[in-house]
Amino acid sequence: MASTSETGHAKNIANLQDLISFCKGYADQYNPVKESLKIDSLETLYQDALQKLTETQNKKTLFDNATDDRINAFKDLNPLATKIINSLAVSGVSKLTVDNAKGFNKKLQGKSAKSTEIQTIAKDGEPTPKTISTSQQSYDSKIAHFSNMLQVLTESQEYNPNEEELKTTALQNKLTDLQAKNTALINAYTDYSNAKIKRDQKLYDPLIGLVQTAQEVKLYVKSVFGATSPQYKQVSGLQFTRAK
């Protein structure tokens, strides 16, 4: 589902297309001096803005997919860690080794990730850097705690379970996958964030952005045809809103 903000961007672009159509209808009567208000410039602006919006939506889809992939990769981590501790406890290792592993497991089992909440924010609105940062710290911590637990296992010769998923080789593969999914999400968010910056510059730059340009076009139409003219009534109802 498109967020409210994404819908607002699309509406601004759609209204610019309507505005251009009206201006074309005025034929030679629409003849502004300012280059950015000429029909050719407006059509270029429309195409550029549409491209930036599409790129942002595509990057957001990739970000959403990376979010899902990371959530799924981490979904079984807590119960897997509990299995590891139980297996380690009956492997014949020292109590100190078990206690060390339990210490990392206790930290790993913390609930600070709030992955469901982060996923909802990412899909239903534009995630903020603060939200991403909070979530990222949590996932980074989980990876670190799991890595430390795995280090305890690899240093314990007695730990050699028969269960494939609990063997150190399988656990190392799990760690590698967690790290890869985490990195993929970081990169996806960076791409999405940069795409939003470019989109917002094209639409909301205070001097040359789409919204500012559209307002100037409406003002020009008003100056040519008058405030009570049917031409100005055509364009005055087109709303162009700035991003909050």
* Residue 111, pLDDT above cutoff 80: no
Hey, where are the domains in the chain? 4-236
CA end-to-end span of the chain, whole Å?
20
The DSSP secondary structure of 42-75, one letter per residue, reads HHHHHHHHHHHHHHHHHHHHHHHHHHHHHHHHHT
Length, in residues, of the chain: 244
Residue 159, amino acid: Y
Residue 200, SS3 per DSSP = helix
Give pLDDT tens digits for 155-211.
Answer: 999 999 999 999 999 999 999 999 999 999 999 999 999 999 999 999 999 999 999
State the pLDDT at residue 132: 67
Average pLDDT score, the chain: 91
| Cβ neighbours around 232 below 10 Å, total | 18
Q: What would the two tokens of residue 240 be?
A: 């162009």
Kindly indicate the confidence band of residue 120, based on its pLDDT and cuts at 50, 70 and 90.
very low
- Name the residue among 182, 93, 96 with its Cα closest to residue 140: 182
Rounded CA separation 211/12 (Å):
7
Q: What percent of the chain stands above pLDDT 90?
A: 83
Interior angle at CA 78, CA 83 and CA 94, nearest 5: 45
Rounded CA separation 156/83 (Å):
16
Query: What is the helix (H) or strand (E) element at residue 25, kind and residue range?
Result: helix 4-25
* Residue 1, pLDDT above cutoff 50: no
Between these two residues, 128 and 168, which has the higher pLDDT value?
168
| Cβ neighbours around 224 below 10 Å, total | 15
Give pLDDT tens digits for 27-59.
Answer: 999 999 999 999 999 999 999 999 999 999 999
CB 42 within 8 A of CB 213: yes
Specify the pTM.
0.83
Give pLDDT tens digits for 7-33.
Answer: 799 999 999 999 999 999 999 999 999
Give pLDDT tens digits for 58-108.
Answer: 999 999 999 999 999 999 999 999 999 999 999 999 999 999 999 999 999
For range 125-133, the mean pLDDT: 67
